[in-house]
Amino acid sequence: MTGPVRTRFAPSPTGHLHIGGLRTALFNWLFTRRHGGQFILRIDDTDQDRNVAEALAPILRGLRWLGIDWDEGPDVGGPCAPYYQSQRLERHQAAVRALLEKGLAYWDYATTEEIAAERAAAQKEKRQFVYSRKWMAASPEDRTRLEAGGRKGVVRLRMPRDGQCVIQDLVRGEVRVDWVGEQDHVIQRADGSCLYHLASVVDDRDMGITHVIRAEEHLPNTPRQVFMIQGLGSSPPEYAHLPFVAEPGSHVKLSKRKLDQYLKNADFARVTEHGRAIASAVGLPVASDTFNPVIVDFYEQVGYLPQAVRNYLLLLGWSLDGTTEFFTREEMIGRFSLERVNKAPASFDAKKLWAFQDQYMRQVPVDEKVPMVLPYLEKAGVVAPPAAVRKILEFAGDRIKVAGDILDHRHFFLPDDAVPMDEAAFEKRLRKPPEAAGLLRKLQARLDGHDRWDAPSLEALVRDFVASEKISLGQIVHAVRVAVTGRAEGIGMFETLEIMGRERTLARIARALARL
């Protein structure tokens, strides 16, 4: 490796950022930071028909959320601006002209139907299709003649028909491709716009990219790109093709459009349902094509920790020693290398990612969790004093797996008549047991006259009550929980009463008794 490392991540703003794309960005960023180089963010927006104007902001936000910063790119600038591919058309067209002048590309006037007919003939004869170049314009006069006949010309690469392209891939080793199998790919359309592969090569050259680290699906594109960059008089960058991120439990590439299929996986379904419940509570759209665990936005909006997601993505196709799993940001940078990237696809495991989140969340101090969870309550229209939220977090402990889980406890802050009641729990714990109403009234009276209102003293009161009434603790605790929270489950009963406070506790017990 000579000279400073320069890598790039070049997303297309055609939709939300995919987990696989984020993993690719992370590997580029780690490699660059490890070697003290520059990481460039470039927006490859040449596909104007598929670009979505609203898609760019979530992509940038997702990268920043994960802690991936860029040295050059949108909102940062740099010596190689502009960093939007669509704004570099003149550079791309100049490269096309250079390839034409060198005889490495040609104007072609074949129609789509004529190309299809040649392809079909090759298939019928069971031979490899190679375009005959029948409609190639060998001179300016040919172009004039063909255009006068109403034909429209595109520019194609004039690929070699013998020999091999040899690529030294940093992940896959030596890759050899016979040139005869490479088609004369179109690099400029009839309207003058250039296709992605030409634009990408030119931009990589102009931006001094030394290493192209990308998904393995781009490996078949590499020969034509090597041909172009060499034809333009430059040396190819070093290539590293990463294994794709596979569907849960398979070796098929993960897709953001196959949610219904993935929901058959119990772990994937559980994470999806959990995340959607949080999103719905704060008024976020949960359409299947934009809100699922294949999309980066899902994790940010549900309240995962970026360091947990980053750690999990690191291990999607990379391993240090087969046993070490947890890495700080500094350890990731210091230990990352392309030599340890696996060749086999890495299966996405929602349960494993959930385990990383759980482990990281346990390490966050309560005081740091408060500002993480408050926005979820605010978005849900709940006014919650930070001190009370802190108590909930302290008492809930590891029940709060993601920041959005605070919404499971919003009943503490709702008006008494707005707290939803679990009717099945009410029937089981309050209406059905014949002694429930009487016990609850007696306990209400004791609570009303109790001086202190903290969990230890409330527990002592209830245990004295249980002993005097000669009943089990469960006969009253479950009834109180349902009466006060409307739910059958939650944090400790005595801690619940402490957070709720005397007046609200007594008011909610009275409400439950009125229903009986």
Q: Which residues are catalytic?
A: 256
Residue 132 backbone dihedrals phi, psi, to 5 degrees: -75, -15
What spatial distance separates the first Cα and last Cα of the chain, rounded to whole Å? 78
Maximum CA extent, the chain: 109
Encoded tokens for 135? 């409609």
Identify the residue whose tokens are 């889980």: 405
Residue ranges of the alpha helices (H) in 158-295? 196-206, 222-231, 259-262, 266-281
Q: Which residues of 54-64 are buried (b: 16+ CB within 10 A; e: fewer)?
A: ebbebbbebbe
Q: Tell me how far apart the alpha carbons of residues 355 and 89 are, in angstroms, rounded to a whole number.
A: 46
User: Which one, of 373, 390, 357, 513, lies nearest residue 443 by Cα?
Assistant: 513
User: Which one, of 17, 13, 60, lies nearest residue 256 by Cα?
Assistant: 17
Which residues are CB-neighbours of 355 under 8 A, at least 6 positions away?
none
Segments of 141-262 assigned E as strands: 154-157, 164-169, 173-178, 186-188, 211-215, 238-242, 245-246
The β-bridge partners of 368 are none
